[in-house]
Amino acid sequence: MSGSAGALEVRDLVVRYQGRPAVDGLDLDLAPGQVLALLGPNGAGKTTTVEVCEGLRTRDAGQVRVLGTDPAGAPDALRARIGVMPQGGGAYPGVRVREMVGLVATCSANPLDPDWLVETLGLAACARKPYKRLSVGQQQRLALACAVVGRPELVFLDEPTASLDPQGRRLVWDLVRALRADGVAVLLTTHLMQEAETLADHIVIIDHGRSVAEGSPDTLTAAGADRELRFRAAAGMDLRLLADALPEGCTVSEPSAGSYLVEGSIDPQVLSTVTSWCARQGVLADDLRVARRSLEDVFLELTGRELRS
Ligand code: ATP
């Protein structure tokens, strides 16, 4: 990742459970003011990686530097400079939302305004509710507020929107963007490709504890990168004439009944060939769209598996 002044540097990280590698030679770089997304299916090794970086889990091999310090000793001085939002979270059942954020703020020399944070994360209406009465989504946003109220330089967010509805997800995304604009480095794990595509400067796709691809969202989705054209029309059309009319390297198929896919180098000429062919068949190409491949497609190509397992 360019310009890394080293908020986080991971080299050749290996973590094993009962001798089996959960993380198997991973490299990561994260600079201040950047968002790095670790994207991968369940069990890919995301949480294990984050826990090592947080100083919560020991590693079997490799080097890790968090804000220039090895987190293995988890020195207090380092803990004060990082924010951690773990998966699951948890708090004393009786503690109230605003009270909890305020308590965590008192541990920091220069905290964010707890009231602003509670409002920003859509928690104002439940500010006086005890933890045990919160929905899972509210608990998750409270955990995020606690992770960032101390104005950390580096924040670890492990699946920060896993239990949120679209509105809650947008609030969290807005806060992550605000942190980034403030120069905070954010390491985010997710199995939501839209989250990674929307927020991240750099994405590392991991599977079986290894990086299988990395780059900016644009580079990853454009890599090797042909576009695709999809349209809907009557099922079972004879595609032979269309296939002959398309330029070399373009293919056409009907992946499901009435849903057609043209793959290859999609240019205006290809678009015109497809629509003219449809016109000659007397059919209207419905829902016609040209799209780049998604991160989901990239993952499927690389691993042969769906991102959501
Ligand atoms: P998820 O999206 O489900 O949280 P993940 O990508 O975060 O998955 P990890 O939780 O890091 O993946 O798990 C990586 C692998 O290590 C998995 O095969 C998991 O079963 C295994 N694993 C994780 N924690 C332990 C543990 N404490 N003991 C043994 N194996 C573990």
Q: What is the CATH number of the domain that holds 242?
A: 3.30.70
Domain boundary among 194, 221, 248: 221
Dist. CA 219–CA 203, nearest whole Å: 10
At 1 the pLDDT is 43
Give the Å distance between the CA of 186 and the centre of ligand 1: 21
Q: Which residue has the higher pLDDT, 288 or 298?
A: 288
At 2 the pLDDT is 40
**What pLDDT digit, counting tens, does each position of 45-77 carry?**
999 999 999 998 999 999 999 999 999 986 788
At 278 the pLDDT is 92
**Under 8 Å between Cβ of 185 and 151:** no
At 92 the pLDDT is 83
Number of H helices, E strands in the chain: 11, 13
Q: Which residue has the least CA distance to atom 1 on ligand 1?
A: 42
Examine the pLDDT at 216 and tell me if it is beyond 60. yes
238 shares a domain with 120: no
Whole-number percent of the chain with pLDDT over 70: 94
280 shares a domain with 135: no
Q: What is the CATH number of the domain that holds 187?
A: 3.40.50.300
Give the Å distance between the CA of 81 and the centre of ligand 1: 26
Q: Looking at residues 84-102, what average pLDDT do you find?
A: 87
Quick check: is 302 in a domain? Answer: no
Decide: 303 in ligand 1 pocket, CB within 6 A.
Answer: no
Decide: 22 in ligand 1 pocket, CB within 6 A.
Answer: yes
Decide: 42 in ligand 1 pocket, CB within 6 A.
Answer: yes
**What pLDDT digit, counting tens, does each position of 9-38 carry?**
999 999 999 999 999 999 999 999 999 999
Residue 210 structural domain: 8-221
Q: Integer distance in angstroms from the first to the last C-alpha of the chain?
A: 28
Dist. CA 215–CA 303, nearest whole Å: 17
**What pLDDT digit, counting tens, does each position of 163-193 carry?**
888 899 999 999 999 999 999 999 999 888 8
Decide: 48 in ligand 1 pocket, CB within 6 A.
Answer: yes
**What pLDDT digit, counting tens, does each position of 124-147 carry?**
999 999 999 999 999 999 999 999
273 shares a domain with 143: no
Quick check: is 206 in a domain? Answer: yes
Give the Å distance between the CA of 26 and the centre of ligand 1: 15
Q: Which residue has the least CA distance to atom 25 on ligand 1?
A: 17
Q: Looking at residues 99-124, what average pLDDT do you find?
A: 95
Quick check: is 300 in a domain? Answer: no
Quick check: is 68 in a domain? Answer: yes
127 shares a domain with 64: yes
Q: Which residue has the least CA distance to atom 29 on ligand 1?
A: 17
Domain boundary among 221, 250, 278: 221
User: Is 274 buried (19+), middle (13-18) or exposed (0-12) by CB count in 10 A?
Assistant: buried
Q: Which residue has the least CA distance to atom 24 on ligand 1?
A: 48
Dist. CA 2–CA 29, nearest whole Å: 9
At 225 the pLDDT is 57
Whole-number percent of the chain with pLDDT over 90: 64
At 3 the pLDDT is 41
59 shares a domain with 83: yes
146 shares a domain with 233: no
51 shares a domain with 82: yes
Dist. CA 41–CA 190, nearest whole Å: 8
167 shares a domain with 273: no
213 shares a domain with 230: no
pLDDT-derived band at 5, boundaries 50, 70, 90: low
**Under 8 Å between Cβ of 43 and 207:** no
Quick check: is 123 in a domain? Answer: yes
Triad 246, 248, 252: Cα angle to 5°: 50
What's the chain's average pLDDT? 89
Decide: 114 in ligand 1 pocket, CB within 6 A.
Answer: no
pLDDT-derived band at 4, boundaries 50, 70, 90: very low
Helices (H), 182-267: 193-199, 217-222, 240-245
Domain boundary among 191, 221, 251: 221
231 shares a domain with 214: no
273 shares a domain with 189: no
Decide: 43 in ligand 1 pocket, CB within 6 A.
Answer: yes
Helix (H) or strand (E) holding 259: strand 259-264
Residue type, 189: T
Q: How many domains does the chain have?
A: 2
Atom of ligand 1 nearest to the CA of 48: 11
Quick check: is 298 in a domain? Answer: no
